[in-house]
Chains A and B, each alone.
Chain A
């Protein structure tokens, strides 16, 4: 059934600084103290199925788990064909690719070099069998992902859409250092997700030529989290009790923005 619009129902955020927005420092650059990369540890997830899974796959699973816990939702809320999965990353596939290129990985590692395997693991873990979109790019691509997720919900192609982003940099730190004139550091590893459901925000790009104030706040506090940044912005807005937020992303000279309604965070007991 077509919906009048959409809203953000839940947000999950893990960064190299720690879980949630509470862990973000006031100034990432100062807190980084010359470190080029602020890493995120491999999540300790149980299960034989995760034996071969890469760190970035587990980070994707951990973000969704954190989001469900934060919003007081069960896995059944998102399981099945009525939840879409939209995954965005600029660089999380780099670690697997470097490992494969170095010739250190076994045969069964090769599929993990595909960016689609990270959301594939998340889909298996949470039983997500709905519409499936995978975008490559930085923050602007995540805004495109939020737009796409909203469109899928508003069109009635699904009841909810999970937008997930993961960024890891540790394994390719030397390459990123070479690119530091393009991507100022610190690069902060992160994984974030937002659950988009029916609401009252129309699904349209917001006309914005430069970064929104939220985007600037995220970069100041979190550092460079690339595709995770717009989702971190939603987490910041939600934690501040905002009912709406304009999130933007700038990447390779293009700024994309979208305004979204945000459901209130459940009261903590």
Chain B
């Protein structure tokens, strides 16, 4: 893990449980001309990660460093895959490439799959290296595709996850769209006025059940995706794509919605997303909608885009391991249009067993994961 609340799994988890605020004034690039200059910026990366030219690769490497202290890549290099999701790839390097003439390398670093290949080479991974870019749903689809490669015996291990950097390119874009809040991020709160962006990277090691060694965090039971086919930037008004993705993930995992006892929502803090997501979850959960805890960790981290779904999936598994669900930081005043149990205030002592994680992104992307704690 590399996140605004901690640079390893333990710091990430304790930060979430404590309700830490990882949002701060952005220092790495100028923001004076923007409406909003705050975000979930990582102030310092591990020295080993700084060997990479691009910050995107450095973030991914920081997460890989943490992962490899906890798990060994014990398989033939050509039987190990790497599948990562990103909304922005190496776009910051494209900016540099346009403004200087540093030869071919910088131009190639601007390609969205460059960070994955750089880190795959660093890890000695020689199997398939896939970059998924389904916008802010990328981290979920990446975990799903990694699991597919294992299930079909194309590889024996997969390093999977997501990453994205907080850079001027994306800050200027969301600022121009008036999507960024000048207030704090308040997912599902009556006073919510938008999101703040964050940066981060999360990687997990996926293995087939029979090949897994050492302690396990849990299981990815199913994943699903669906296209809205309604608007390039806004979610479908009825959330039909999100509902289809959830149904597909449940079907793939052979899990009944009645068995889901915790939901990690996309929960960006925008007026539209939170209302639509709530309506979909209410439809799906039915009579249990008011009692199944639903949280969003974007109030603590900001919206980490391609990293978000992976960080949220790991959060679900840690909740199952330790019996604590992190709060929705920033949620204080209920909105009549958002009437679920959003875990306000402080972390809650519940040990979920089967969990649902939802994600949405530009281009009508929707993805869902169904997870189970190791127990």
Q: Which A residues have a C-beta under 8 Å from some C-beta of B? A: 81, 85, 90-91, 93-94, 97-98, 100-102, 107, 110-121, 123-124, 126-137, 140-141, 144, 147-148, 151, 157, 175-176, 178-182, 203-205, 252, 254, 256
Contacts and interface: CB of A to CB of B under 8 A. Distances in A.
Q: Which 5 residue pairs spanning A and B have beta carbons closest together?
A: A116-B363, A120-B363, A110-B173, A123-B229, A132-B227
A144 B107 contact: no
Given A101-B169, A117-B362, A120-B364, A134 B132 contact: yes
B227 A123 contact: yes
Contacts of B97: 175, 178
Contacts of A180: 104
B358 to A, nearest CB: 14
B195 to A, nearest CB: 14
A258 B145 CA distance: 17
A164 B344 CA distance: 44
Interface in B214-251: 224-233, 240-241, 244, 248
Nearest to A143: B128
For chain B, give the interface size range: 35 or more
B229 A127 contact: yes
Nearest to B106: A178
A134 B229 contact: no
A100 B244 CA distance: 33
B36 to A, nearest CB: 15
Given A110-B176, A137-B130, A116 B135 contact: yes
Interface in B138-154: 138, 141, 145, 148, 152, 154
A101 B98 contact: yes
Contacts of B126: 254
A114 B135 contact: yes
A134 B112 contact: no
B375 interface: no
Given A114-B87, A182-B108, A205-B154, A123 B228 contact: yes
B225 A93 contact: no
Contacts of A130: 226-227, 244
Given A100-B173, A111-B233, A128-B229, A134 B134 contact: yes
B240 A116 contact: no
A107 B101 CA distance: 28
Given A85-B227, A120-B232, A134-B134, 16 more contacts: A98-B98, A101-B169, A115-B363, A118-B363, A124-B230, A124-B231, A128-B229, A129-B228, A132-B364, A133-B225, A135-B133, A136-B86, A175-B107, A203-B152, A205-B154, A252-B113
7 contacts: A93-B112, A116-B361, A124-B232, A133-B134, A135-B132, A182-B108, A252-B117
